[in-house]
Amino acid sequence: MSTTENPRPPFPPFDAETAARKVRMAEDAWNTRNPEQVSLAYTHDSAWRNCSEFLSGREAIIQFLTRKWNKELDYRLIKELWGFRLNRMAVRFAYEWHDDSGQWFRSYGNELWEFDEGGFMRRRLASINDLPIPDSDRKYHWPLGRRPDEHPTLSELGL
């Protein structure tokens, strides 16, 4: 962790409450679709595998997320804790988006996360599959930004 940065609580080792809070914080950040803001949750040398793409460091994360959200329009994401141990978590997620032709997709995936002692994510391994869906099958209809607290979770939606 850089000594010039403020720590990012909650910190490992995680318990059920702090792990769930960390997952919701990540979901909220990604739903801003602001690459610079999102990148601040990761170490300066954070290592990512996103499907077949390998990244290292915040600048690469910013570039990746900028490309992602230029392609994945009206992106809305829900994350859910799958499990945790000490400084690691398993998270499942689904997000909805459309491309520039108007085709909607629901992307399903799993992530493995590892955190440093300051609460920054130092490793993210993600596997994702995109499923084309008709507009009528969309389940995420909240205004762009943070998912409202009363909106169903992945489990409640049967995803």
- Report the predicted TM-score, pTM, of the whole model to 2 decimal places: 0.95
> pLDDT at position 4, please?
65
Question: Looking at residue 112, what is its pLDDT?
Answer: 98
Average pLDDT, the chain: 96
Residue spans of the domains in the chain: they are: 16-157
- pLDDT tens-place values along the chain, 159 residues long: 445 689 999 999 999 999 999 999 999 999 999 999 999 999 999 999 999 999 999 999 999 999 999 999 999 999 999 999 999 999 999 999 999 999 999 999 999 999 999 999 999 999 999 999 999 999 999 999 999 999 999 999 999
Give 5's contacts (C-beta < 8 A, 6+ positions apart). 118, 120
Please work out, in degrees rounded to the nearest 5, the angle formed at the alpha carbon of residue 64 by the alpha carbons of 22 and 87. 25
Per-residue model confidence (pLDDT) at position 5: 84
Query: What pLDDT, on a 0 to 100 scale, did the predictor assign at position 77?
Result: 98
Q: Report which secondary-structure segment, H or E, holds 28.
A: helix 16-30
Res 157: pLDDT? 98
The CATH number that domain 16-157 falls under is: 3.10.450.50
